[in-house]
Amino acid sequence: MSAPHEKKDTPANFEEVDQIDLKIMEVLQKDARITNQALADRVALSPSACLRRVRDLETRGLISAYRAQIQVDKMRSVTIVMAHITFSQHTIKNLHDFDACIETLPEIVESYRVSGNVDYILRVVVPDMHAWKRIMTVLVNGGFGVEKIVSHFLMDQIKTFKGYKLIQKPGD
Amino acid sequence: MSAPHEKKDTPANFEEVDQIDLKIMEVLQKDARITNQALADRVALSPSACLRRVRDLETRGLISAYRAQIQVDKMRSVTIVMAHITFSQHTIKNLHDFDACIETLPEIVESYRVSGNVDYILRVVVPDMHAWKRIMTVLVNGGFGVEKIVSHFLMDQIKTFKGYKLIQKPGD
DNA sequence: CCTGAAATCCACTATTG
DNA sequence: CAATAGTGGATTTCAGG
């Protein structure tokens, strides 16, 4: 899948974006439902030019989705777990099957492969601890070679995700 | 801050939502830029009734924002760190100052307080490891009583956040 | 790549059931 | 609470630089 005879080992050639693109994404990160007109004003472009850029950012995959941020905990009791998974056997098949299993469980809302002692970090949102126990059972007994799971239960979300820092201000 | 003489220890009274509200949020979670008309169709409501519900969900804080999901890694090299912070002294002042410090650092995109050995889990997005080292220095030497920081470097995001499971399908 | 105009299409607000 | 209808405004396409 990778290009042959690469000089540098920076594998992906990055998508080119200019300052206006960054500004557009910065605005849409904070308010995805802004009208195209208002967005065009903010970035000092005509609405049609602005829309073309937005569509382009979408097709290039730089904007991958627009999502409403839901506060689930305001309507029901939830327990959130950061789970650390360690494997005993890191076969490709095991990891692949594990990924596929995780994909089927909507309670596991995020999954990262990490370096170091821990192999995976999962973010899990469940109604209660019992639901988490059931999912743990699936992960441990699924035949993926999971050695152990360490669970960190969330007490408080102090800083919620509000977007990435896209534009470097002078003085950073 | 907590109400006195509570019978149950479920402290917050949750916001009431019906099936249509859930369906609305489910749709907006997947596509926040859907037009109100199309949304109204999806939930089998007239546009005006639908819009009223959306506005209501917003003012009640169940929908807290609409955000474009940006794939930063497609336009530049980034290193993502899950950092575990342990405190030596858990004074309220220390934790409060620490929270305030984190709020000022845009590279720290999420922060959770957790139970157990670890006190905080941070998700950090930086250009390179050196930038993370600089932030670590700030956190350790900031006089917050931070004892140690364990860094987990992300190799791969296997499952990205695509929203919560809001509606219980039969058979769960 | 941009602007600007023209033709949809939509959001939002009564008004009514 | 929900549906319907009207209008001011937004989205989108297209011609032209």
Q: At what angle do helices A19-30 and A47-59 cross, to 10 degrees?
A: 80
* Contact call for residues B32 and A67 (beta carbons, < 8 A): yes
**pLDDT over 60 at B55, yes or no:** yes
Please, which pLDDT band fits residue A12 given cuts at 50, 70 and 90?
low
* Contact call for residues B151 and B132 (beta carbons, < 8 A): yes
Q: Pick A158's closest partner by Cβ from B77, B102, B164.
A: B102
Q: Do A114 and B152 touch (CB under 8 A)?
A: yes
**Chain B, window 47-106: residues with a beta carbon less than 8 angstroms from a chain A beta carbon:** 60-77, 80, 82, 99, 102-103, 106
> For A151-163, what is the mean pLDDT?
97
Kindly report the length of chain A. Answer: 172
pLDDT digits (tens, 9 = 90+) for A53-88: 999 999 999 999 999 999 999 999 999 999 999 999
For B94: left if phi > 0, alpha if psi spans -120 to 50, otherwise beta; the answer is alpha
pLDDT at B172: 66
**Chain A, window 7-36: residues with a beta carbon less than 8 angstroms from a chain B beta carbon:** 10, 12, 14-17, 25, 28-33
Percent of chain B residues past pLDDT 90, beyond the cut = 88
CA distances from B27 to B39, B49, B120, B163, B171 (A): 7, 16, 32, 10, 21
Please, which pLDDT band fits residue A168 given cuts at 50, 70 and 90?
confident
* Contact call for residues A30 and B68 (beta carbons, < 8 A): no
> For B16-32, what is the mean pLDDT?
98
Q: What is the pTM of this model?
A: 0.91
Could you tell me the two tokens for B2?
């907590």
B49 touches strand D (CB under 7 A): yes
**Rounded Cα–Cα distance for residues A19 and A54 (Å):** 13
**Chain B, window 126-155: residues with a beta carbon less than 8 angstroms from a chain A beta carbon:** 152-155
Angstrom distance, B144 CA to D11 C1': 51
A163 contacts chain B (CB < 8 A) = yes
**Which of B48, B55, B53 lies closest to B20, judged by CA?**
B53
Q: Which run of H or of E encompasses A83?
A: strand A79-87
Q: Do A115 and B25 touch (CB under 8 A)?
A: no
Query: Which residues in A lie closer than 8 A to residue B51 (C-beta atoms)?
Result: none
Helix/strand/coil (H/E/C) assignment for every residue in chain B: CCCCCCCCCCCCCCCCCCHHHHHHHHHHHHCCCCCHHHHHHHCCCCHHHHHHHHHHHHHCCCEEEEEEEECHHHCCCCEEEEEEEEECCCCHHHHHHHHHHHHHCCCEEEEEEECCCCCEEEEEEECCHHHHHHHHHHHHCCCCCEEEEEEEEEEEEEECCCCCCCCCCCCC
Could you tell me the two tokens for A41?
């004003």
| Average predicted confidence (pLDDT) for chain B | 92
> For A151-155, what is the mean pLDDT?
97
pLDDT digits (tens, 9 = 90+) for B3-17: 444 444 445 689 999
Angstrom distance, A48 CA to D16 C1': 14
Percent of chain B residues past pLDDT 70, beyond the cut = 92
**A-B contacts at Cβ under 8 angstroms:** 218
Please, which pLDDT band fits residue A163 given cuts at 50, 70 and 90?
very high
Query: Which residues in A lie closer than 8 A to residue B63 (C-beta atoms)?
Result: 68-71
Residue of least CA–C1' distance to D12: A48
> For B141-160, what is the mean pLDDT?
96
**Which of A132, A100, A95 lies closest to A114, judged by CA?**
A95
CB atoms within 10 A of CB A9: 6
**Which of B79, B74, B126 lies closest to A13, judged by CA?**
B74
Report the amino acid identity of residue A147.
E
Chain A's closest residue to B10, CA to CA, is: A77
